[in-house]
Copies of this chain bind each other. A is one copy, B any other.
Amino acid sequence: MPTYNAPLRDMRFVYHALVDGDSLHELPGYEDATPETVDAVLEEAAKLCRDVLQPLNRSGDEEGCQYENGVVRTPKGFKEAYDTFVEGGWPSLAADPDYGGQGLPHLLNTLVEEMICSANLSLGVYPGLTHGAYRALHAHASQELKDIYLPKMAEGTWTGTMCLTEPQCGTDLGLVRTKAEPSSDGSYSLSGTKIWISGGEHDLAENIVHLVLARLPDAPEGIKGISLFVVPKFVPKADGTPGERNGVNCGGIEHKMGLHGSATCVMNFDGATGWLVGQPHKGMRQMFTMMNLARLAVGVQGIGLAEASFQGAVQQAHDREQGRALNGPAYPDRKADPILVHPDVRRMLLTMRAYTEGMRALGAWVAKEADVAHAHPDTSRRRAADDLVALMTPIVKAMFTDLGYDVTNLGVQVFGGAGYVRETGMEQFIRDARIAQIYEGTNGVQALDLVGRKMPANMGRSLRRLYHPIAEFIQEHQDDARMQDFVQPLAKSFGRLQTVTGWLAQKGMSDREEAGAAATDFLRLMGLVAMGYMWARMARLALENEGDDPDGFHAAKLATARFYMTRLLPQTGALMSAILSGKDSMTDVPDSAFALSA
């Protein structure tokens, strides 16, 4: 397993210089987010990840979770590591001070979460979901429920889950069958089976708080008849400590491709006591609070695994000696040159780096806007920020997890045969990364969300939150000679994006299938352009700092930006061609093309 060291230099660059995270400190509620505090938090988190979480990553994968008679044991060391995590106050980092939180920005939390995902994604899933459940309760639950649950969840002594999926329903939650019957005391009795519940049962925390989608007896059919309930594993006593065991039990865990240390549970609700969160039949809207946050968090998993794999690959490219440079030995005194001398190995490493740092930059911009949307005193500024976050959420989720997966695959490729062997830890990143393209809404569903919901929303207002800054940046730098290598490719790809957007607005309005056929390619096109914009901004900062660059950080940024512009951004041309060819190649297809020809 490669040693993981958090990319603090890049994180500080992104936080302080690129997205001006320090300005958050002026917003009400974020007063504590001074540059010094931010750096101290990043450094402490880096230590925790390196010393506590990462050493358990491979052993956790090998051992996996064990299920017996309703009990789930997490891998050796997970409980102790989680205790350390809780003692360090990490679950409360971005939680509300009214409920014991530290009130630090989401932006900072995102960088910390990236580290956790790099170090030990399986372990990170438990607190990650807890934070999502915390946010959903914070937004929608009654004061009474908040007072009971939020402090415990902010503390991390209780964890949270999201119980949506049932055997017959995943993407289509309108098919939920779990029932909630009202009891005389104002609580509800829930019955049904939920599957693929991450952290549904485990031995890390003293209580588990399930957020459950279910139907009330008078519920309308479909998606408009779903309500949200909170169902604790142990019903809290009056003093707030866990009381009686509730009627919710784990019926088994899945054997999965990866993420072995994260328990994926079948949860049986058998007359379990629950409490309604928010209004009846509005459960989907409430759950979306949690899902949107979870989608951003899943995107961050893509960054984290990409970074971890990149670190391993860079090390290997320096260490492994094999063959000679194409134009003659680079290290004639050695038996062979390190494989880093080969352009094709550099191509792989630069692809990994360009995507990883590009995702971090783009993710940070979105995370900062989420903080602005949350805390800015000005309504229109809040709304503008919220628009951007809404627009970018499917891109962060889908593109980041796709690219994260691709990067982990490149990491194995750099290792060659050794990457396929479990011992090196490189293939685990692939296996752990694969689920992120699926859960919290498959990436195809994200693409539909983008073209079907986010783009048309508010007459294209959200879209302008992305397009305007890009257009302004291009205009501002179009005569800057040093910026030509970056502005020209950006302008070209942005032109493609605008062409396709216009086409889609026209076609997709009258025919939703046209939008559906274009969706996945369009999401990638927009995402690559947005990432290109971030790379151009990073290049500008690097050029400004070129003279004072003792560690070569800015030189590396410039080189990586150039690689992105020349080698990766041209994909936008192929995506445009594919999209403009229209839906017919998918929809005007005989049934026989979807039957086996055997």
Q: Which residues of A contact B (CB under 8 A)?
A: 5-10, 46, 165, 168-172, 175, 196, 254-258, 311, 314, 317-318, 321-323, 325-327, 335-336, 340, 342-350, 353, 405, 409, 412-413, 416-417, 419-423, 427, 430-431, 434-435, 437-439, 442-444, 447-448, 452, 511-513, 515-517, 519-520, 551-553, 555-556, 559-560, 562-563, 566-568, 570-574, 577-578, 581, 583-598
Contacts and interface: CB of A to CB of B under 8 A. Distances in A.
A597 B422 contact: no
Contacts of A448: 344
Given A254-B421, A345-B444, A512 B171 contact: no
Which of A342, A343, A417, A519 has most B Cβ within 10 Å? Answer: A343
A350 B593 contact: yes
Contact of A9 (B256, B416, B515, B597): B597
A513 B326 contact: yes
A72 to B, nearest CB: 16
Contacts of A340: 594
A561 to B, nearest CB: 10
Nearest to A62: B255
A555 B592 CA distance: 7
A578 B567 contact: yes
Given A255-B423, A417-B196, A567-B585, A552 B326 contact: no
5 contacts: A46-B598, A168-B335, A172-B323, A256-B421, A566-B578
B593 A555 contact: yes
B421 A434 contact: no
A19 to B, nearest CB: 17
Contact of A347 (B327, B343, B520): B520
Given A5-B598, A255-B422, A570-B577, 9 more contacts: A171-B322, A175-B322, A256-B420, A314-B595, A326-B516, A342-B516, A412-B438, A563-B589, A574-B574
Contacts of A434: 409, 412, 420, 427, 430
A574 B8 CA distance: 34
Given A343-B513, A513-B343, A570-B577, A593 B323 contact: no
